[in-house]
Structure 1
C-alpha cells in the first residue's frame, strides 16, 4: 500500500495492538529517498489527539534518507512531549551521526530514565564511526555537570566509546579522589573493557589492591581484563571441543535481574521479587536431578562484593578473590551499580547488566543454553551477550505486555490519545518490539498453556505456531509440592494437637500476631489472603476495593495482603498503598479487618496458606489462649492480577486446599475448574473480584465431604501436571535438543553482533 492507503488503514484500525504491529507498514510506505512524505508525517507527530500514530510517524520518519527528515528528528529530541523525545532518540539509532543531534542526545543521557538509556544506546552506535567526536561532546558535558547521577551516566557513556580520548577521561574520573563515588564506579567498571590500553590497566591494577566498594569494582574490572586477554585461548578450546563428542552434562543459565535471589527466598514479594524468583531457585535445584544436567547458573542482581565471591579462579594479585565452594546450582549476582529499582525503571542498567552477564557466563561457563523469560532489560542485555558468545537461547514467550495493552484497551483506560503518556512509564512500544526480537533470536520457544493458545498468539503477537510447530513447546510452570505438604501437616497438627507455647519466629505465631493486632471483634473470622507484589498489574488495591465495598464481606471476613516493602515502598508499591488508603478513607470500617503483612519468605507463606485453610484454634498462641480462635477455618485465596501468565502463587494456594479466585484468562483458566476448585472472574474491575470472593467463601463453607472432594481434585491435578520436577523434566529435553543442534538461522550465534530492537 502507498502512504495514503496505509494511513487510512491505521486510522480505521480499532485496536491499539493492531496499530503497534502495523506500524512497520507505515514506515515501509514512505518515500525513503525524498521529502514527499515528510509533511504528512510531521502532521501526525503534531496531532495531540492520537499519540499512537505520532509515535508510528517518528519511526517512519527515521526511514527517510533526507536532510529535512533528519532535521525534524533532531528537533524532536527537544520536544516538550517526553514520549516524542524518547522515540526520536530510539529512531536515531539507525541513522548516521548528526552534529546537532549529538548534543541533544548527550542532554538526553544527562536527563536519565528510559530516554537517557535510548540516547546512550544511539551514541554508542554512532561512536563506532566517530569515537573522538562523541567522546569530546561527552567530556564537554561533564565539565558543565555537577550532580553525581548525571555525571555517572556520562562516565558510563564514555565507557562505550573507543579511542584514546575516552580512555584518558575514564582514567581521570576513576582516579579522582574528589569525584563522586558513583561516578568513579561507572568509570572504573568501564576500564575493564579496555584491555589494550596500558594506562587503563595501570589504574585498574592500582585500585584492585585497595579495600572497599571501589576496590571491588576495580577487581571486577581486572577480572574482565583477564577474561579478554584469555579470549583467544577460550576460542581455541571451544573449537577443539566442537569436534569431540559430548560426555559431560549441560550447563544451563537462567536469569531474572530484578530480584535479590537467595537460597532462602527471604525477599520474595518485595519490590519485583515475585514468583519468578521462587521459581528459578527451585527449578534450578530440580534440573540438577535430571539426567544430562550438570550445572545451573542463576543470575540475579547483587553487589560487586557478592559478584566477586561467586566468580571462580585464583588471582594472587587480586586480594579477596578466591575459589567459591563447589556448587552445581550457582547463584551469580550481577552488579548493576545502582540502587534497586522496578522493572519499568531499570532500562538504564543495560550496560552494567551486559557487562555483569558477560563476565558471569564467561567465568562460569562454558554455558550450553541460556533460558530467558520476560521482555525486560535483563533479557535484552543477556540476548546481546548470547549473540556475541554464540550461546543458543531458549525464550519463554508470553503475550506480555500485549495482554495488558489489550485488556486496558478493552476497558477504555488506554486510548490512542493517551498512549504516549502511558508509554513513557510502561514502554509498551519498546517492549512489544523486544518480545519480537527475542522470539526471532531464540533457538526454541517455550509457551505457557492458555485456553485459546493458538488464537491468542495470532491475535496478540501475530505469531502462527502452525508455521513452525517444532519450534514451540508448551511447558506449564510448577511448584515444589513437598513444601506445601509439610506446611499443611504442621497447620493441621496445630488444630489437632494445640501447643501452649510457641516462639515469635514461628511462622504461625507471626500470623497470629498480625490477626491479634486487629480489634477483638475481628477475631475468629475466616481470612481471604493474596500473595504477590504491590504492583498495579497484580491488582492488590483492586482486591481491597472489592472487599471493602461489600458490607457483608467486610463484616464477616478479614483480608490479608502478603507482599511489598511496607516500610520503604518503591514508587509502584507507594501507588498501590495510596490507592488502598483512599479506599479505607471511603470505607473506614474496613480498616479494622485489613492486614498488610509485607513480603515474607516463601516457606512462611506456605504455612500461612495452611493456617488460612484450617484456621488457628484456641490455645496455640503465646500467653492466654484467645477465645474465640483468632482465625476461623474456611479461608480463601484471591488473585486480582490484571493478567497472569501462569500463576505460581495460585498453584500453591490450590495445593494447600484453598478455594481460589483467579483471572478468567491466561494460564489460570487451564487449571482452575470454575465453580469447583475456584472461580474465574473478570479482574479488570472490583465487581468481578467481589463476586468471586462471595462465591469462594460460600464454597469453602460447604460440607466437609464436599471440601475433601474439592481438595483431592485440586491436589491430584497439581501432583500430576504442575510440579517443579515435571517442569524440569520437560525443559531438560528442550535444553538437550537445543544444545546439540547445529546452529543456524534463529539461533543466538547466527545473528549479527549488532542487536537491533527497534525495527
Structure 2
C-alpha cells in the first residue's frame, strides 16, 4: 500500500485499537521499501504530536535494512519523551547490536520498569554476537555508584551473557559476603545457568550459609543439573497452568487480595475438576508466585511422578507487585517456570491465560522445552482502551503518557504473539465474538476453526449451594456461625436505622478496571445510599498494593473511614471464595435484625471478559448489575436475571442499580431459581473441564504426530 498510505491509516484511524493494529502494516511497508522517503515519513511522525503515529514509526524503523534508520533508532534512546525511549529500546532488539546504544540500554536496565525489561531483552538478544562488549559494559557499570536494586538488575543481565568474563564476575559478586543481599541473590541465581566447575563450587559453598541465599543457591544447583524427562504414573495427560500474580493454594485463602481475583479461584477449581471429572487428564500442575523456601519442597512433589492437582511456586521474595509493575521479573520468573516444568518430566500442554510477564516468560520456556501451548485469547487491553476512549479519558494525543504507565502497545502485541504461537486458542463467549476478534485482534476465527474453541468459565455449584443452605437457615432464625457470624458482626456496626436496608454487594480485586471506587461514589452521592447499604468484598487493607491504595484513597475521599459504618459502607477486605459465597447468599435471604433480604450484586468493571463472581451471585439467586459488553452480555438476561449497563457511565450505572433494587424488592423467587438453573446448565466448573479436556488431548496428540514425523526424518 506504500508507506504514506500505511501512515495515513494510523493517523486517520477511527479508534486507538485500530491505530495500534495498523502499526503492523506500517512496519511491513517500512521493511519492504527502506528508502529515503520512508525514513522521512517515519521521522516526521516521530517528531509530530500524534503519539500513536510516533510509536508506530519507532517500531517501523526497526524493520528497515538501512544504516541511517538504525542510527536514528539508536539516537531515540536519548529522546526527551520517556515513552519514545521505551519503545526504541524494544525495537532495537530486532536489529543487530549497535555499540553506541549499549551504554544507554544498560542505564535503562538499571532504572527498571518495563523499559528496563525491554532493554534487558534487547541486550540478551545481542549477547549472541557481542558477548564480550556487553560483559565489559555491564561489569563497568556495576563499579559505579548505584542503588542496590539497580546493581542487582545489572548483575541479572550479566547472567544472560555467555562469556567467560561473565562467569568470573558473577562468582565474585555471589561470594562477596559484604555485598548487598539483592546483588548476591541475582548473582547466585544466574550462576545456576552455568555448569562450569567454578560456578558449581561457588554455589555449593553458599548453600552452607543457609537462609534465603542458601535456598537460592540450592535452587541454582538444581538448575545446573541436566534435565530429566523420566516420569512415573499412568498414560494420562499432564497439563500445566499459570497465574503468576496470585498466592494460589488449595484453600483459596488469599482470594480477593492484590491480584488474587477470579482467575486464582478458577485455576484451583478447574485443576481439581480436570483430574476428578475427566479421563484424559491425570495431573494438573498449577504455577504461581511464592518464596525460595517453598520452591525446593515443591520440586520434590512435582517430580514425584504422582497424579492429581499439584502446586508449584515460582520464588519471588520481594513484596508482591501488581501485574503492571512486574515486567522486570521476567528473567527470574522464566527461571522458576523452567525449573518446575523440567522437574515435572513430561508436560503435555501449557495453558496460558494472561498477557502478562508470567505468560511472556512461560512462552519462552515452552519454546525451549518443546511444550505446546493453549492460549485463552481475551481482548485485554483492547477492551479497556475502547472503554477509556469512549469515556473521553484517553486520546491519541495523550496516549504516550498513558502507555508509559499501562504498557498498552506492548500488551496488545503480546496478546497477538501468544495467540499466533499457540497450538490452540480458547475464547470466552461474547455476543459478537467473531466480529470482535477480527476487529480488535485481527483474528479470523473461520480460518482453521479446528484450532479455536469457545469455552465458558464455570463455578463450583457445590460451594454455592452450601452457602445458600447456611444463609437460609440463618434467615429462618438460626444463630449465625463462621463467615455468617463475621458478617453479622460487620452489620452490627451499622446504625439502627440502616439495619432494615438490603445489601448491595460487589466481590473482587480492588482495582480501577474493576470500578471499585466508582461504585462507592455512585452509591454514596445519590439516592442509592438511602435505599441500600454497600458491602465491598476484596482488597488487602493491611498491606495494600499500589492499585489497592489508589482505590482506597478515592473511596476515603468520598467517605472518610470514620463515617463508613454510619453511612452504610462495609469495607472488610478480601475473604476466601467460600466465605464470599456465604455473604452473597446472605444478601439474598437477609440477616434478621441486621439487614433486609433481596439485595443486589453489582459488577462495576470497565470490562469483564467473563465474570465468575457475577455467575456465583446469580447462582445464589441474586439479581445482578453487570457491564453490557463482553461475557456478561451472553448470560445476563437484561431486565430478567439482571440489568446490563455502561458501567463506565456513572449516571447509567446508578440507574441500573436503582432498577435492580426495585425489581429485587418484589421477591421473585422464580427469577432466583432461573439464575441457578442457568448456571447449573451452562456454567459449572465440571462443564468447563469437560470442554477443555478434549482440547488438551487434541493438542497433545498433534504434538506427538509432529514429533514422530520429525524423528522419521532424522
TM-based fold match above 0.5: yes
- Residue 325 (structure 1) shift: 10
Q: How does 1:300-699 map to 2 (within 5 A)?
A: 300-312=288-300, 328-499=308-479, 506-551=482-527, 553-584=528-559, 592-617=567-592, 629-699=593-663
CA contact (8 A) 2:504 2:599 kept: yes
CA contact (8 A) 2:372 2:703 kept: no
| Counterpart in the other structure of 2:101 | 101
2:207 pairs with 1:208: yes
- C-alpha deviations, 1:224-256, integer Å up to 9, x for none? 111xx246xx4xx79xx9xxxx96111110010
* 1:311 partner SS: helix
* 1:405 partner SS: helix
2:277 pairs with 1:287: no
- Residue 476 (structure 1) shift: 0.4
- Between the aligned partners of 2:217 and 2:266, the Cα distance in structure 1 is 33
Provide the TM-score with structure 1 as the length reference.
Answer: 0.90
- Residue 496 (structure 1) shift: 1.7
- Between the aligned partners of 1:29 and 1:383, the Cα distance in structure 2 is 28
- Residue 210 (structure 1) shift: 3.4
Unaligned runs of 5+ in 1: 314-321, 618-628, 751-759
- Between the aligned partners of 2:434 and 2:292, the Cα distance in structure 1 is 44
* 2:472 partner SS: helix
- Residue 74 (structure 1) shift: 2.0
- Residue 586 (structure 1) shift: 14
* 2:203 partner SS: helix
The number of residue pairs the alignment matches comes to: 707
CA contact (8 A) 1:35 1:66 kept: no
| Counterpart in the other structure of 1:162 | 162
- Between the aligned partners of 2:475 and 2:6, the Cα distance in structure 1 is 68
- C-alpha deviations, 1:716-752, integer Å up to 9, x for none? 111111000000011111111111114689x9x99xx
- C-alpha deviations, 1:556-598, integer Å up to 9, x for none? 2100111111222211111112222233379979962111111
2:255 pairs with 1:271: no
Higher deviation after alignment, 252-261 or 330-339:
330-339
Judging changes above 3 Å, is the alpha-carbon distance between structure 1 residues 323 and 431 closer, same or farther for their aligned structure 2 residues?
closer
2:147 pairs with 1:183: no
* 1:266 partner SS: coil
* 2:185 partner SS: helix
- Between the aligned partners of 1:462 and 1:714, the Cα distance in structure 2 is 35
| Counterpart in the other structure of 2:146 | 146
Task: After the TM superposition, list the runs of 4 or more consecutive aligned residues in structure 1 that deviate by more than 6 angstroms.
Answer: 322-325, 585-591
| Counterpart in the other structure of 1:757 | none
- Between the aligned partners of 1:591 and 1:546, the Cα distance in structure 2 is 17
RMSD: 2.2
Higher deviation after alignment, 64-73 or 115-124:
64-73
CA contact (8 A) 2:564 2:570 kept: no
* 1:680 partner SS: strand
- Between the aligned partners of 1:585 and 1:16, the Cα distance in structure 2 is 37
Judging changes above 3 Å, is the alpha-carbon distance between structure 1 residues 337 and 74 closer, same or farther for their aligned structure 2 residues?
farther
| Counterpart in the other structure of 1:299 | 287
CA contact (8 A) 1:35 1:69 kept: no
Judging changes above 3 Å, is the alpha-carbon distance between structure 1 residues 76 and 370 closer, same or farther for their aligned structure 2 residues?
same
- Between the aligned partners of 2:378 and 2:600, the Cα distance in structure 1 is 28
- Between the aligned partners of 2:705 and 2:509, the Cα distance in structure 1 is 40
CA contact (8 A) 2:355 2:411 kept: yes
* 2:223 partner SS: helix
- Residue 73 (structure 1) shift: 1.8
Higher deviation after alignment, 333-342 or 289-298:
333-342
Provide the TM-score with structure 2 as the length reference.
Answer: 0.96
| Counterpart in the other structure of 1:756 | none
- Residue 44 (structure 1) shift: 1.3
| Equivalent residue in structure 1 for 2:235, among 248, 266, 277 | 248
- Residue 327 (structure 1) shift: 5.9
CA contact (8 A) 1:286 1:724 kept: yes
- Between the aligned partners of 2:531 and 2:560, the Cα distance in structure 1 is 20
Higher deviation after alignment, 103-112 or 359-368:
359-368
- Between the aligned partners of 1:338 and 1:643, the Cα distance in structure 2 is 30
- Between the aligned partners of 1:685 and 1:274, the Cα distance in structure 2 is 24
- Between the aligned partners of 2:151 and 2:404, the Cα distance in structure 1 is 23
- C-alpha deviations, 1:500-557, integer Å up to 9, x for none? xx66xx2112112222223332222111000011111101111112111212x11121
| Equivalent residue in structure 1 for 2:676, among 715, 718, 723 | 715
- C-alpha deviations, 1:259-306, integer Å up to 9, x for none? 011111111111100000000001000001111211100000000111
CA contact (8 A) 2:353 2:377 kept: yes
- Residue 406 (structure 1) shift: 1.5
| Counterpart in the other structure of 1:620 | none
CA contact (8 A) 2:9 2:19 kept: no
CA contact (8 A) 1:677 1:710 kept: yes
- Between the aligned partners of 2:6 and 2:506, the Cα distance in structure 1 is 46
Judging changes above 3 Å, is the alpha-carbon distance between structure 1 residues 157 and 339 closer, same or farther for their aligned structure 2 residues?
same
| Counterpart in the other structure of 1:41 | 42
- Between the aligned partners of 1:190 and 1:175, the Cα distance in structure 2 is 13
| Counterpart in the other structure of 1:621 | none
- Between the aligned partners of 1:372 and 1:586, the Cα distance in structure 2 is 40
- Residue 178 (structure 1) shift: 1.0
- Between the aligned partners of 2:702 and 2:551, the Cα distance in structure 1 is 47
| Counterpart in the other structure of 1:625 | none
- Between the aligned partners of 1:61 and 1:325, the Cα distance in structure 2 is 50
CA contact (8 A) 1:548 1:587 kept: no
CA contact (8 A) 1:193 1:221 kept: yes
- Residue 489 (structure 1) shift: 0.6
- Between the aligned partners of 2:255 and 2:204, the Cα distance in structure 1 is 38
* 1:524 partner SS: coil
Higher deviation after alignment, 273-282 or 8-17:
8-17
CA contact (8 A) 2:4 2:41 kept: no
Judging changes above 3 Å, is the alpha-carbon distance between structure 1 residues 406 and 744 closer, same or farther for their aligned structure 2 residues?
farther
